[in-house]
Amino acid sequence: MVEPPDLTIRAAAEALRAGTITSSGLLDAVLDQASRTEAELHSYLTIDREGATAAAEAADIAFSRGEDRGLLQGIPVAVKDNMVTNGVETTAGSQVLSGYVPPYDATAVARLRTAGAVIVGKANLDEFAMGSSTENSAYGPTRNPWNTDRVPGGSSGGAAASVAAGSALASLGSDTGGSIRQPASLCGVVGMKPTYGLVSRYGLIAFASSLDQIGPIARTVDDAVTVLEAIAGHDPLDATSYRGQLPEFRAGIGRGVDGMRVGVVRELSGEGIDADVLAAFEKTLERLRGAGAKVVDASLPSTSYALSCYYLIAPAECSANLARFDGVRYGNRVDGDTVEEMMGRTRRSGFGPEVTRRVLLGTYALSAGYYDAFYGQAQRVRTLVSRDFASAYEHVDVLVSPTSPTTAFELGARTQDPLSMYMSDVCTIPTNLSGDPSISVPVGLDGEGLPIGFQVMAPALGEPVLFQAAAEIERLSDFEPLRAAEAGA
Amino acid sequence: MPIDIDIAYVARLARIDLSGEELARFGSQLGVILEHAAKVQDLPTGDVPPTAHPLSMVNSFRPDEVRPSLERSVVLDQAPASEDGYFRVPPALET
Amino acid sequence: MSYEAVIGIETHVELRTRSKMFCGCSAEFGAEPNTHTCPVCLGLPGSLPVPNEQAIDWIIAIGLALNSTIAPRSVFHRKNYFYADMPKNYQISQFDIPVCSNGRLAVEVDGEQALIGVTRVHMEEDTGKSTHVGGDGRIQSADYTLLDFNRAGVPLVEIVSEPDLRSPAQARAYVQELREIVATLDVSDVKLEEGSMRFDANISLRPEGIEEFGVKVEIKNMNSFRSLERALSFEIDRQQRVLDQGGRVVLETRHWDEAAGVTHSMRSKEESSDYRYFTEPDLVPIEISDEWRERIRSELPELPAQRRARYVEMGVDPLTAATVVGGGLGEIFEVAVSTGGSARTVSNWLVGEVTAYLRRESTSIGETPLTGEGLAELAHLVESGDLSGSAAKPVLEGVLSGEGSPREVAVARDLLVMKDTGALEAVVDEILAGHPDEATRLREGDMKVLGYLMGMVMRATGGKADPKLANEMLRDRA
């Protein structure tokens, strides 16, 4: 008998319709799990007991009336705390928004509600989504459910940990440089970044506008698709939202990989990758070959510059996106004799060191005299990265690499050296630059029992082939997800 | 070589009132990060156009229709200081 | 040393769209503070802008009306700076690829025409409004500031002229023509008193004959056409004095003080702001196809310059034509002419008696019962000799006041020309008999006395005598 917190969305949906469990019962089980584990894990910043209970009750009433809005009806999910939720505190993991209550829902959140999902609460994150370990949260770090001395990854650490620990059946994360995929990899769950523009950014507190995307974190590829189906699609409130016909996400699932051309990105799959991670990666490639895939070598030379490129573009955009946090209209104000003083003090006290670093860096990269050499040049390198991907996809159907060079590292191990922290994203950043979709699937454990993730990348709007490959990789692997009873031990 | 930055000027532009010690610390950290970020300059880009958007979309508009605004009570509810329906801030030094 | 003034003007025009530039809040002027705001125009966390299509149509129209090149592809940029009335602390604007560029505008001063270049016309968003409380209401001595974001996000078009203007009068003519064009396009209220049209000027002096520009000073806070002209005149004097004394003009922004009639130094432009422009990542480029552009062009109304030229061709003198067009009297004029009224006569009445009446009564032409047909009828009365030219004025006033049609008013006020020749003969004979000396002089060929006798006849007939006939009769019967 599967414990409710260990259920996949699909299994829970079946049970709900079979009557073996109610939404309220499922929510209770998830909340119990949260009570059990949160003191240690701290995945949540806010648990909205009242709102979630009301939503679960509404779902139960809907079921009893024979109303069925789909698989997500009655399913408890967590939302990363950088997506605004109407009437529920949203902090972006920062002091500057402590106590801030938004007057509207992010579109992705609204769509989850429309689908009948039960929003349990707001998940912890690196402040303003800047980080790879969730140690930059102004409210304390989240710990990895597999080993509480370890980080869950970041910036969507809370969203990934809650799913791994069973205090949510799925969650919404955001990914700017790998912030969904890397924590998914470190927490042994599935995390996916959609094609840029597929999911509305309206209501996502902006970090780097041309890189940010909201995406699902779930136990299985199938569940991730379920969440994506509910949130994807054009939004008139987001001018960068894709207006064309949506691809059939599930079209390839179950078709296997026979004949599929799989390109291994050389620059992301050798140097700098941990031995255990590389071993699990190679093993997965073997399994793919065994299943009929054509595994070939692929070189994308400009991806060696992707990290540098990202650390100019993202800070530049964030420096402008965070300018609005000035204590004038909302947020934590620190007073001053003049408005300039008030703003300067509010921002100094409100922003943590990593955010401050990136805002300063971005301001510099855009400033007169430096724009061309830094930001301007980075945007040109970005074009080269996109071109490399486009060329590669002329010869392969998907590209693959490890998701993260390492498994979960210890808390505190990288906080003193920003550059070492940035290296966590070296495999994930390239698809943020190109705007292509990518996914992390857990494929094994390292010698210390920590999860290893395998990354699949596909061309823009190539979600069908992406999920096709990911589902097969999942099927072929012998990875066992964490049981709720073990979480946080 | 870490890059040398006029960190005080940058902090002013970014409106963050940092202490002298903080300026020194951030200045040197940034210098190291920038040195690595400057790697982008090693890649010849010639006449490669910059990417401003990963999509190739154009003309994303909305029609000129009025939609309900927020209630003022809601708007001012989150304001750190307000008076008579206005947001209130200390006086400005610069114009 | 003789100096030449070099002036450029930066004009901002608020478009009269129903909703704001990037959100659906009402853009209407005058609402209670902070009642037209939403997550987007308040810069709440997570909000995103979506451009108003009508605003783009209208900026293209303005560009075409100013003979500009319309960019086939244009982008938005972020202009970054901190200010309390800017919700995002960046303004969505345009930098190196504005919607319109390379335009020009013909401006006339005292009969002399000049072609003023329009460097660019670009799209941006307006800021909120600050009210400084305490002190003398000016920013420098305020105790605190109150902010209203109703105006934040209203579509704003910025029109930048080349430094082609050479005198305060020419600068004034430029902004007035600009205002007339925009008003004709009906894309803005262009009310200076409401801020839907604002302008700043840049002015420098250079020795006559020299091509190099002098140091330029920016002038702000001119709230009327008159203050623009006054401020520029003052600046020319001020800069001239500085240069004559061997000093150097400081590169700075100065504030026009309407009450004192002087400009004050505001801040040194040496430390000009670093706006860190970069392409707006939340918006995609605008591509303006040939079809789109030509559709807007085909929908353009007749512009003031074209209209004035057309009236001149009808026989109206240029200054009168300009006043008719500028005063919004073109429609009634054209109806009058098409109904048979003489262009010269009707236009003269419009710029004379009608305009004086409208000003006196503080009303507009649409609020009076006067119609183009009425003007034509009045012109016909005069042409046919039923009304003397001088009687037309009181009749016109009577029509404007609502007393009825021109003929009705003429009859009611007994102003119609006397047609009864017999009665006129009798009056002429009476006057001649009553003034024998003058009659004798007239008989002997003294034309000067004719005027006096004519006056007598007109008085005796209450102005209703046909002057031509009376003149003839006096000479015949003297």
- What phi and psi, each to the nearest 5 degrees, are found at residue C286? -100, 125
> What pLDDT is stored for residue A271 in this prediction?
86
Which whole number is the average pLDDT over C448-476? 85
Catalytic one among A23, A43, A133, A155? A155
Instruction: Confirm or reject contact between C84 and chain B (CB < 8 A).
Output: yes
Q: Is the pLDDT of residue C252 over 60?
A: yes
Q: What are the tokens at A41?
A: 């894990």
pLDDT of C271 higher than 60: no
Q: Do C274 and A324 touch (CB under 8 A)?
A: no
> Which chain B residue has its CA at the smallest distance from A372's CA?
B41
A245 exposed, middle or buried (CB, 10 Å; 0-12, 13-18, 19+)?
A: exposed
Nearest residue in B to A316, CA atom: B14
Which one-letter DSSP state was computed for residue A376? I
Categorise residue C392: left if φ over 0, alpha if ψ from -120 to 50, beta otherwise. alpha
Residue B79 dihedral angles phi and psi, to the nearest 5°: -70, 130
Which chains border C (3 or more CB–CB pairs < 8 Å)? Answer: A, B
Distance from CA of B79 to the nearest CA of A (A): 5
Select which of A94, A179, A404, A434 is catalytic: A179
Question: Does A89 score more than 70 pLDDT?
Answer: yes
Question: Dihedral of the CA atoms A323, A326, A332, A334 (nearest 10)?
Answer: 140
How many C-beta atoms surround the C-beta of residue C412 within 10 A? 12
Residue C458 per-residue DSSP state = H
Number of helices (H), then strands (E), in chain B: 3, 2
C356 touches chain A (CB under 8 A): no
Under an 8 A CB cutoff, do B40 and A308 touch?
Answer: yes
Q: Residue type at C191? A: K
Chain B residue at shortest CA distance from A213:
B54
The answer to whether the Cβ–Cβ distance between C53 and B87 falls below 8 Å is no
Consecutive H or E run containing A174:
strand A170-175
The verdict on a CB contact (< 8 Å) between C284 and B60 is: yes
Q: Say if C75 is an interface residue toward chain B (CB within 8 Å).
A: yes
CA-CA distance, C348 to C335, in Å (whole number)? 15
C386 has a pLDDT exceeding 90: no
Tell me the average pLDDT of chain C: 92
Say yes or no to pLDDT of C140 above 70: no
Residue that the structure tokens 């004050």 belong to: C264
Contact C46 A204 (CB under 8 A): yes
Which site among C34, C86, C89, C288 would you substitute to test the B interface, given the most B Cβ atoms closer than 10 Å to its Cβ? C34
Q: Which residues of C380-401 are buried (b: 16+ CB within 10 A; e: fewer)?
A: bbbeeebbbeebbeebbbbbbe
Mean pLDDT calculated for residue range A66-86: 97
Mean pLDDT, to the nearest integer, of B78-86?
Answer: 97
Alpha carbon distance A489, A147 (integer Å): 7
Residue A250 CA to residue C195 CA, distance in Å, equals: 55
CB atoms under 10 Å from CB of A2, counted, come to 12
pLDDT class for A377, splitting at 50, 70, 90?
very high
* Cα distance between residue A206 and residue A226, in whole Å: 25
From CA C449, how far away is CA C478, in angstroms rounded? 11
Q: Do A329 and C44 count as a contact with CB atoms less than 8 A apart?
A: yes
Tell me if A380 sits within 8 A of A318, measured CB to CB: no
Task: Please calculate the CA angle A46-A86-A128 and round it to the nearest 5 degrees.
Answer: 60
Give chain C positions within 8 Å (CB) of A202.
46-48
Which of A248, A8, A241 lies closest to A106, judged by CA? A241
**pLDDT at residue C27 is higher than 50:** yes
List of residues 6+ apart from C395 with CB closer than 8 A? C378, C381, C387, C406, C409, C410, C413, C415
How many CB atoms sit inside 10 A of residue C238's CB?
A: 17
> Cα-flanking dihedrals φ and ψ of residue C24, to 5°?
-90, 10
A155 has catalytic annotation = yes
For an interface test with A, give the residue of C52, C82, C95, C277 to mutate (most A CBs within 10 A): C82
Whether A239 has its CB under 8 Å from any CB of chain C: the answer is yes
B76: distance to nearest CA of chain A, Å?
Answer: 8
Are the beta carbons of A21 and A12 closer than 8 angstroms?
yes
Read off the pLDDT of each residue in A266-295 and give the average, rounded to a whole number: 96
C51 interaction partners in chain B (CB closer than 8 Å): 60-62
pTM of the predicted protein model: 0.92
pLDDT at C447 exceeding the cut of 90: no
pLDDT band at A50 (very low <50, low <70, confident <90, very high): very high
Instruction: Give the Cβ contact number of residue C113 at 10 Å.
Output: 8
For helices C330-338 and C372-383, give the axis angle rounded to 10 degrees: 50
Which residues on chain B are in Cβ contact (under 8 Å) with A426?
none
Residues A315, C175: Cα–Cα separation, whole Å: 42
**Which amino acid type is present at position C376?**
A
Amino acid C269: pLDDT: 47
How far does the CA of residue A403 sit from the closest CA of chain B (Å)?
A: 22
Q: pLDDT tens across C276-307, in order?
A: 999 999 999 999 999 999 999 999 999 999 99
Nearest CA in chain A to B34: A361
C-alpha pair distances (Å), A260 with each of A295, A357, A395, C241: 8, 43, 11, 82
| pLDDT at C187 exceeding the cut of 60 | yes
How far apart CA A193 and CA C459 sit, in angstroms, is 97
- Specify the pLDDT at position A335: 96
**Please, which residues bridge with residue C30 across strands?**
none
Q: Which helix (H) or strand (E) holds B82?
A: strand B82-83
Output the pLDDT for position A489.
64
Residue C267 confidence (pLDDT): 62
- C294 Cβ contact list (under 8 Å, min separation 6): none
| Mean of per-residue pLDDT scores for chain A | 96
Nearest Cα to C84, choosing from C137, C145, C23, C140?
Answer: C145
Work out whether strand C252-257 and strand A118-123 pair parallel, antiparallel, or are unpaired.
unpaired
pLDDT at A111 over 70: yes
In angstroms, the CA C126 to CA A349 distance is: 30
Q: Do C88 and A324 touch (CB under 8 A)?
A: yes
pLDDT of residue A452: 98
- Please judge whether C34 and B75 are an interchain contact, meaning their C-beta atoms are less than 8 angstroms apart: yes
Confidence of residue B95 (pLDDT cuts 50, 70, 90): low
Confidence band, pLDDT 50/70/90 cuts, at residue B2 = confident
- Whether C143 contacts chain A with CB within 8 A: no
**C-beta separation of C11 from C199 below 8 A:** yes
Buried residues in C325-349 as b, exposed as e (16+ CB within 10 A): bbbebbebbbbbbebebbbebbbbb
Query: By C-alpha distance, which of A469, A11, A461, A8 is closest to A253?
Result: A469
Name residue A174's beta-bridge partners. A214
Q: Are A148 and A195 in contact (CB under 8 A)?
A: no
What pLDDT, on a 0 to 100 scale, did the predictor assign at position C270? 45
d(CA C190, CA C179): 6
Chain A residues touching B75 at Cβ < 8 A = 103
Q: How far is C205 from chain B (nearest CA, A)?
A: 26
For residue C212, which amino acid is it? Answer: E
Amino acid letter, A340: E
CA gap A215, A196 in Å, rounded: 10
- Chosen for mutation from A364, A375, A416 (greatest number of chain B CBs closer than 10 Å) is A364
Active site residue A179: yes
- The one catalytic residue in A80, A94, A137, A156 is A80
Dihedral through CA C236, CA C239, CA C242, CA C248, nearest 10?
-160
DSSP helix/strand/coil, C355: helix
Find out whether C391 and C463 touch, Cβ atoms under 8 Å.
Answer: yes
Q: Do B55 and A197 touch (CB under 8 A)?
A: yes
Closest CA of chain C from A381, distance in Å: 16
C141: pLDDT strictly greater than 50: yes
Rounded Cα distance, C103 and C121, in Å: 9
Q: Are A71 and A13 in contact (CB under 8 A)?
A: yes
Residue C42 DSSP class: T
Tokens of A234: 């054009």
Please indicate whether, in this complex, the C-beta atoms of B72 and C34 are within 8 angstroms of each other.
yes
Q: How far is A188 from chain C (nearest CA, A)?
A: 29
Q: What interface predicted TM-score (ipTM) does this complex get?
A: 0.96
At C272 the pLDDT is 63
| Yes or no, beta carbons of C286 and B90 under 8 Å apart | no
Residue A283: active-site member: no
Query: What is the rounded average pLDDT of the residues C64-78?
Result: 97
